[in-house]
Structure 1
Amino acid sequence: MPDLLPILTSLAWPIALAVAWLAGEFGQRFTGLPRISFYGLVGFALGSAQIGVLPAPDAGPVALLADIAFGLILFELGYRINLRWLVNNPWLGVAGLAESVLTFVAVYLVALAFGTTHIIALMMAALSMGTSPATVVRVINEQRSSGQVTERVLHLTALNCVLAVFAFNAIIGFWIFRTFDAVGEALWQSSVMLAGSALVGAVFGVVVPALLRAIHNPRQDATVAFALAIVLLAAICDAGALSPYIAALAFGLTARHRRIAFSQAQRNFGALGELLTVLLFVYAASTLDWRQIAAGSALAVVVVLVRQVSKMLGVTAFARLSGVSWRKGALTGLGLAPLSVFVILLMEHARHAGVHVVEELRAMAAVTMLLEVFGPVIIQRVLVWAREAPENPHAA
């Protein structure tokens, strides 16, 4: 009789994905909440630190698939960014910088007030600047939302990603050098990583559209070509210690301006994207440990509140200057609530790189779990309140 343990271990991920998908479908049907909230709950429950169905996270093929899934979403986000709009309306960029800086300062001070060390407080502040494009893009596509608030949330999410990756890597550099005397070197390394990742993504954004034009059928073959390119891009960044997230964002941004069509029917990259989205949210939530969440819960609640107020204030302050009402400015700031997947993957990359101080970020584990569930719900309600998505989610 064959040993059942290896068989059950090999079936863990397929079973988890099937359970998560079913939970998402039935959960959305009966509650109207976004499917990804249920994917996250299933992933967390089945994680190695909870029920233990899924193995402990490592840098294996599932982690690479999660990077590819996130890369597809970031490509789509980059593809929807209109740089000309940011040039014509610079106050939107100013609002993004203001809310990011305000968030960084506020979370840093709160973390210090709770007795955390300076380096951990800095890491928490940098991570809190970000907004999860996985949640934002997924909910917007699921709701088929469009309008001023939708576009502003997308553009500010992209800006938040770049700023958070830069700040987090710079602070990781501080930790590696063990002294703030090496600030210049840490900033330089972070800048080089950011620039290198953006350059690789931009090269893909030029080469792939050129190849699509060469085969004389870009509209039909664009989705497959872009998906294969993201797979290759993630592998290159993984081998070259670059950020696959910045590279994928730059890829989408450049491809948009090469004028290769990416139609509404291709959003989420079809069945491939749907499957990888389930894997992404299950994997991200499965890396969390309930003990770390419990240990950091008090600080996490305060960080979530302070972060949200900071983002709303920063965006609302420049709402009229950027061409919208105070109400839409506040809704845009509220729509930047999602955080979970982006933070989890950044922390996993840092851990795999040997940055063991990440284990001390217990409060961020609690923050991400809170926003894993509530982040999708918040942005869904924002889109409805802005009248840019249907009130009845079953229509989506």
Structure 2
Amino acid sequence: MPNLDIVLTELGWPLAIALAWLAGECAYRWFGVPRISVYGLVGFGLAQVWPGALASGASSTVTLLANLGFGLILFEFGYRINLHWLRINPWIAVSGLAEAAATFGAVYGISQWTGMPPLTSLLLASLAMSTSPAGVLRVVNEQNSSGQVTERLLHLVAINCVLSVFAFKVIVGVWVFQTSGNLWQAVSHSLIELLASAALGALFGFGAPALLRRLGALSQDGTVGFALGVVLLVALTHAANLSPVLAALAFGLVARHRRVAFARTERNFGSIGELLTVLLFVFAVTVLPWERVVEGAALGAVLVGARFIVKMAAVALFSHPGGTSWRKGILTGIALSPMSVFITLLLEQTRQMGVVLVDELAALAAMILLLEVVGPILTQRALVWANETQRPEA
């Protein structure tokens, strides 16, 4: 007779995904809570009760699947970005740069005030700049949201992501140089990695539409073709230690500007995309040690509050020059709250380099858990208050 503990361990991830999905559906249908917030709560709770069954390493199959789910979301997110709109209204880009820089400065200042080492404070500040495209896009699609706040939100998230990845990789490169003394290793893990990731994603963005047109299957099999492209792209970046974030964003961005139609009915890449999303948001919090979350709860709450206020104020400050009202500027800033999944996957990539920030920064673990649950709810509320949601009937 097989050992019960072994059987339960083997069933850990399938059961966690099933329970998270069921809880998310119930919470959304009964209380209107974003599904992804509940996925995170269930994942964190199960990881504390059942840690051995939900363990995952940097090279595990679960981590690869989580990166794949994130890649699908990032492709769709990049596809929603219109560079022509940024050229017409450059104040959107200006507000994105300003709020990211202000967030960086505020978090760095608070971290230094609490006695953190300068390099650690820089890493924390670079991560705090970001907004999770996975959390924002899932709420936008779930609420069927559209309008001025929604579009500005998506473009500001894209700016946040690029700036955060760039700053984080450069600072990690400096960290590696200080610990190893190898300048080439430091450079290869920062600027060269970023350029190679973006170039690879752009190559897929040109190649995939051309191949689908050549096959004459763009209208029938376009979604499947792009999904397979994302699978291959994520696998390549995973194997080559490149950034799947920039690669998938560049893939979607270039594919959009190649004038490729993406069917509205295939948002989230259908059922397989939904399944990978559940896994992604469960995975994002299973790497958080309970002890670190409790230890860093107070500082994490302060940093989350500072980040929230700075982003909201900075976006509102540029709302009138950017052609919108103060109210919509404030709501856009509120909607920039999620960041957890983005940070978790960035940290998993750096584990291979020996930089384990979750274990060293208790405040970061607390921030990830808090914004995993609260961030999507704030985004949903902001879109509802902006009157841009059309939630489908359950």
**Bin for the TM-score computed over the shorter chain:** over 0.9
* Paired AA for residue 142 in structure 2: E
- The secondary structure found in structure 2 opposite 1:245 is helix
Kindly report which structure 2 residues correspond to 1:277-316, keeping only aligned pairs within 5 A, or say none: 277-316=277-316
Higher mean C-alpha deviation, range 123-132 or range 187-196: 187-196
* Paired AA for residue 55 in structure 1: L
C-alpha displacement at 1:118, in angstroms?
A: 1.1
Q: Are residues 51 and 394 of structure 1, via their aligned partners in 2, closer, same or farther at CA, if it must alter by over 3 Å?
A: farther
Partner of 2:274: 274
Q: CA separation in 1, counterparts of 2:278 and 2:112?
A: 36
Does the aligned pair in 2 maintain the 1:297–1:363 contact within 8 Å?
Answer: yes
Q: Deviations over 1:96-144 (max 9, x none)?
A: 0000000000000011111211111111100000000111000000000
Q: CA separation in 1, counterparts of 2:51 and 2:178?
A: 36
* Paired AA for residue 135 in structure 2: T
Does the aligned pair in 1 maintain the 2:10–2:53 contact within 8 Å?
Answer: no
Among all aligned residue pairs of Structure 1 and Structure 2, give the percentage whose two residues are the same amino acid. Answer: 54
Partner of 2:53: 54
Q: CA separation in 2, counterparts of 1:276 and 1:196?
A: 26
Structure 2 residues without counterparts, runs of 5 or longer: none
C-alpha displacement at 1:310, in angstroms?
A: 1.1
* Paired AA for residue 345 in structure 1: L
Partner of 1:222: 222
TM-score scaled to structure 1, two decimals? 0.95
Q: CA separation in 2, counterparts of 1:21 and 1:53?
A: 21
Partner of 2:393: 395
* Paired AA for residue 301 in structure 1: A
Q: CA separation in 2, counterparts of 1:331 and 1:184?
A: 44
Does the aligned pair in 2 maintain the 1:40–1:284 contact within 8 Å?
Answer: yes
Q: Are residues 165 and 14 of structure 1, via their aligned partners in 2, closer, same or farther at CA, if it must alter by over 3 Å?
A: same
C-alpha displacement at 1:187, in angstroms?
A: 6.5
Partner of 1:241: 241
Q: CA separation in 1, counterparts of 2:14 and 2:189?
A: 39
C-alpha displacement at 1:312, in angstroms?
A: 1.2
Q: CA separation in 2, counterparts of 1:213 and 1:289?
A: 48
Partner of 1:27: 27
C-alpha displacement at 1:4, in angstroms?
A: 3.0
* Paired AA for residue 307 in structure 2: R
Q: CA separation in 2, counterparts of 1:28 and 1:283?
A: 20
Does the aligned pair in 2 maintain the 1:38–1:373 contact within 8 Å?
Answer: yes
Does the aligned pair in 2 maintain the 1:29–1:394 contact within 8 Å?
Answer: no
Q: CA separation in 2, counterparts of 1:272 and 1:56?
A: 23
* Paired AA for residue 191 in structure 2: S
Partner of 2:126: 126
C-alpha displacement at 1:260, in angstroms?
A: 1.3
C-alpha displacement at 1:7, in angstroms?
A: 2.3
Partner of 1:146: 146
Higher mean C-alpha deviation, range 235-244 or range 184-193: 184-193
CA RMSD of aligned residues (A): 1.9
Aligned length: 393
* Paired AA for residue 241 in structure 1: N
Does the aligned pair in 2 maintain the 1:219–1:260 contact within 8 Å?
Answer: no
2:341 is aligned with 1:345: no
Does the aligned pair in 2 maintain the 1:54–1:286 contact within 8 Å?
Answer: no
C-alpha displacement at 1:184, in angstroms?
A: 11
C-alpha displacement at 1:192, in angstroms?
A: 1.7
Q: CA separation in 2, counterparts of 1:328 and 1:183?
A: 46
Q: CA separation in 2, counterparts of 1:45 and 1:188?
A: 38
Does the aligned pair in 1 maintain the 2:11–2:53 contact within 8 Å?
Answer: no
C-alpha displacement at 1:299, in angstroms?
A: 0.7
Does the aligned pair in 1 maintain the 2:69–2:277 contact within 8 Å?
Answer: yes
